[in-house]
């Protein structure tokens, strides 16, 4: 059996060549780093998605983050709960389908909007609450790239209401509470997390990190097979 990834690679030889050449450039230009091989594969893909080498250093991992994410994917059927639709749209449908994964987001849900107005909160807060009420956060991979309030609310749900995702990829971008929300997430010992320290982040980075985890899971799957 081939150990070369198929599902999580570009579909054409030309696309694969460009991507692999880009990774080689990043490896040459990034300089030294403190990451493990698997952690670096995630950071490198984030740099590839943004052309921003500062993610070499700004990206921080819970010690169990990569393994927790890969195992969640390999178990099959995991939910991906996102703060915004952009993450769900950006994720590769064939790659998710290979592992039986389903993306969810509620930012545009009518009930979420009404609750946010009534309670004077953000839609992102109410969207996280709805995901929790629906039982979607348990053992899920949660990706937050846009709304710091979503990450702050997720931390509250973990601390106060027993929410237990398998992994949190917390990378909200912004100037109000973005850095603080990620620092708050990183205080937790459970569940594992991947965060970008400071103001930088974004949905594109979350998608890149999740695609890297999917690639690691496929490689592990082929090795085991």
Active-site positions read 48
- Alpha-helical segments (H) within 134-202: 148-161, 178-186
CB atoms within 10 A of CB 127: 29
Ramachandran region, residue 197 (left: φ > 0; alpha: ψ -120 to 50; beta: rest): beta
What is the secondary structure of 93-116 as a DSSP string?
A: HHHHHHTT-EEE--TT-HHHHHHH
Distance CA 101, CA 36 (A): 26
Query: What is the rounded CA–CA span in Å between residue 63 and residue 50?
Result: 25
**What b/e readout covers 148-178, taking b as 16+ CB neighbours within 10 angstroms?**
bbbbbbbbebbeeeebebbbbbbbbbbeeeb
Task: Answer whether 184's CB lies under 8 Å from 151's CB.
Answer: yes
The C-alpha atoms of residue 215 and residue 91 are separated, in whole angstroms, by 13
């Amino acid at each position: 059996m081939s150990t070369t990834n198929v599902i999580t690679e570009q579909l054409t030889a030309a696309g694969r060549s460009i991507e692999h050449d880009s990774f080689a450039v990043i490896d040459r230009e990034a300089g030294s780093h403190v990451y493990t091989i698997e952690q670096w594969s995630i950071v490198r893909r984030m740099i590839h998605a943004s052309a921003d080498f500062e993610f070499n250093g700004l990206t921080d991992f819970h010690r169990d983050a990569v393994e927790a994410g890969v195992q969640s994917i390999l178990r099959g059927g995991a939910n991906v709960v996102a703060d915004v639709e952009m993450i769900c749209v950006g994720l590769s449908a064939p790659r998710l389908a290979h592992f039986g994964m389903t993306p969810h987001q509620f930012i545009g849900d009518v009930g979420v909007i009404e609750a946010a107005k009534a309670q004077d909160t953000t839609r992102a807060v109410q969207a996280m609450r709805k995901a929790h009420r629906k039982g979607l956060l348990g053992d899920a991979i949660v990706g937050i790239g846009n709304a710091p309030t979503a990450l702050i609310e997720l931390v509250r749900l973990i601390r106060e209401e027993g929410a237990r995702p398998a992994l949190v990829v917390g990378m909200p971008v912004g100037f109000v509470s973005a850095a603080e929300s990620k620092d708050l997430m990183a205080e937790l010992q459970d569940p594992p997390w991947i965060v970008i320290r400071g103001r930088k982040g974004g949905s594109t980075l979350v998608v890149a990190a999740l695609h890297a985890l999917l690639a690691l899971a496929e490689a592990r799957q082929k090795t085991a097979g």
